[in-house]
Amino acid sequence: MGEHRIYTQLPLAAGDVVSLEEGPPHHLLKVLRLKPGAELTLFNGNGCDYGARIIDAGKRSAQVEILDQGVEEATPALRISLGIGISKGERMDFAVQKAVELGVSEITPLITERCVVRLSRERMHKRCNHWRQVAISACEQSGRRRVPLVIDPMELDDWIESSDSTPGLLLEHRSERVIGQLPAPGTGIRLLVGPEGGLSEEERTFALRHRFTGVQLGPRVLRTETAPLAAIAAIQTLWGDFR
């Protein structure tokens, strides 16, 4: 398969010829400068990579032939769901990108009491679509064949109550517990990280009442975009696919 990986929403099958939508052709032709005959890898989030070859390229479209289908990506043994307080611009982008690279299954931007970012419904919808594109780009780069879900922003309490049966970790610097002291969570775990200003005492108490356990990540205070990544790496090392 070609070294360049491109995401498409189209159904893919070996032997088919497909016309790629506007975004991928621009990336192929203008950024990567691929010509007819060049090989690449396509994926659509169903768990498989597909080897493909460009057979025709115009200014705004590209036709590719699907050559073969790769092995399906295994479902992760541990499903990690990240709930993260919405933070400013690049910090949120960075957290989403790296969380995807580290193997989370789902990301939910959370509206909390101390969120600095306050957007209209329309602007929040656009921002969420932007984060979904960040997740797709991270999959293209990291080789993931299943695109993690980026859920529409939710109020913190609603997210906590939506999957009350799954154990959760609440990152808080003042906790005396570290992740390594906890028992294995089973097949799924939720990870809760506050925004720049942290969670309020009421939010913290609410989480602890709903199967969340407070944990800290050592003696250092981590930024809001760093903390979830350190926690995800620790979770994957202890119970996930880093073992």
Q: What are the tens digits of pLDDT across the range 99-151?
A: 999 999 999 999 999 887 777 778 888 999 999 999 999 999 999 999 999 99
| Residue linked to tokens 């070859």 | 53
Instruction: State which amino acid sits at residue 106.
Output: E
Tokens of 32: 């990567």
3-state secondary structure 185-236: CCCEEEEEECCCCCCCHHHHHHHHCCCEEEEECCCCCCCCCCHHHHHHHHHH
Residues carrying CATH 2.40.240.20, the chain: 5-72
Question: Does the structural domain 5-72 have CATH classification 2.40.240.20?
Answer: yes
79-239, superfamily in CATH?
A: SPOUT methyltransferase, trefoil knot domain (3.40.1280.10)
pTM, to two decimals: 0.92
pLDDT band at 182 (very low <50, low <70, confident <90, very high): very high
Residues carrying CATH 3.40.1280.10, the chain: 79-239
